[in-house]
Chain A
């Protein structure tokens, strides 16, 4: 098959972690590549690049989304939240990140950003999950270190902490 040239460029504007960013993109640029390559937000990791591992999960308009399965041009006008924005602008950690640190819920750390973003969205909707529910919520995130036990514990801790300190909307 002969190659086709890239088609027209599209101008997009996205609210990333609360601040507007603009870019001019080719249609086939994946959201994950826009975040990492264009904007230097390398906290979003790319594992499998076909939607199996969940490492690249970010929030698009609040929903956990695989950024390797969305084109950058599609998020024009959307709100995108990445792991860099979790703790806000302060030096501290998000309660979920604190729980991960306290429970040693990361080994190599590759899967961590995707898991954090998945859990942030999940706990917002389900503040009192059971262990089984946490495991189901994380079924789309692979940890190749297989450190699931501590990840699940951290998520349960964070849920308790979140219930005790009513989170900002």
Chain B
């Protein structure tokens, strides 16, 4: 299996990459880590006439941290999330999820922005970014704009990106005050496989243990990561384990759960509800201990 012919460009700056995108529009594909795009090209499911390789755009590879706010260039490798102390302190949810993204070899090459722009419904990073309420900075030769993670994902492999736009930077806000915790749980057939289903959560409690902030995202269940509405029920409460389990079940009921070769929708619903309760429970326990 070999890709169809294409024209190759390796710009050194974001501006040059944007000019190439403006010139070639939807005939062009951006190549970041290539761990999703190149398999699809090898199988000829995708045949871009032009490939714009971002790997030499060093400006997209930076990790910056300022007062708990994390800024990740879109070309930051997934393995950096496991290894960089700034990620572990500012966004521990990302550091916890990172080892579960694919395998050693794919994390060495695969990028944060690439996973987000690819928007696989079972991928860990899109779900984590929604739970963290991250903001994506999108750039084109025309303009630049900011897009909340929860507005970026538009269903199966679909995002808010226009054909001439590039996801340049991901901004993860500081953890919500005063005491925040995160939780992550997934079930996959083997370590590194896409999750059959998974859940992640961020919770914040006040001094009295009352929940002031709760975000739960379920992934791998429907055609994209799902930000649960059911968490509204625990705001203003001291959440008990039973209450969080109830929220998990209610959150799953919001999703049109898919079935495939590996799991029926009924199985996915049961597992998703359990994982949602686990993710919320861990987030609450960590917030309690913070």
Residues of chain A at the chain B interface (Cβ within 8 Å): 1, 3-8, 10, 26-28, 30, 33, 49-52, 54, 57, 60, 63-66, 68-71, 73-74, 118, 121-122, 135-137, 139-141
Nearest residue (CB) in A for B109 is: A65
Instruction: Find out whether the CB atom of B105 lies under 8 angstroms from the CB atom of A65.
Output: yes
Which B residues touch A64, using CB under 8 A? 104-105, 108
Instruction: Find out whether the CB atom of A140 lies under 8 angstroms from the CB atom of B39.
Output: no
Interface residues on B, range: 20 to 34
B235 interfacial contact with A, CB 8 Å:
no
1/0 per position for B1-34, CB-CB distance to A under 8 A? 1111111101000000000000000000000001
Nearest residue (CB) in B for A46 is: B1
Residue among B6, B38, B41, B79 having the largest count of chain A Cβ atoms under 10 Å: B38
Nearest residue (CB) in B for A67 is: B105
Give chain A nearest CB distance to B245 CB in angstroms.
29
1/0 per position for B169-213, CB-CB distance to A under 8 A? 000000000000000000000111000000000000000000000
Which B residues touch A8, using CB under 8 A? 7
Which B residues touch A71, using CB under 8 A? 8, 34, 38, 53
Nearest residue (CB) in A for B51 is: A27
With beta carbons under 8 angstroms apart, the residue of B10, B34, B51, B104 that contacts A70 is: B34
Which B residues touch A74, using CB under 8 A? 10, 53, 55
Instruction: Find out whether the CB atom of B104 lies under 8 angstroms from the CB atom of A49.
Output: no
Give the docked Cα–Cα distance between A52 and B7 (Å): 26
Give chain B nearest CB distance to A58 CB in angstroms.
10
Which A residues touch B1, using CB under 8 A? 49-50
Which B residues touch A7, using CB under 8 A? 5-8
Instruction: Find out whether the CB atom of B99 lies under 8 angstroms from the CB atom of A49.
Output: no
* Contact segment of B42-50, B62-70, B130-138, B246-254: B42-50
With beta carbons under 8 angstroms apart, the residue of B55, B79, B106, B191 that contacts A51 is: B106
B159 interfacial contact with A, CB 8 Å:
no
Give chain A nearest CB distance to B28 CB in angstroms.
13
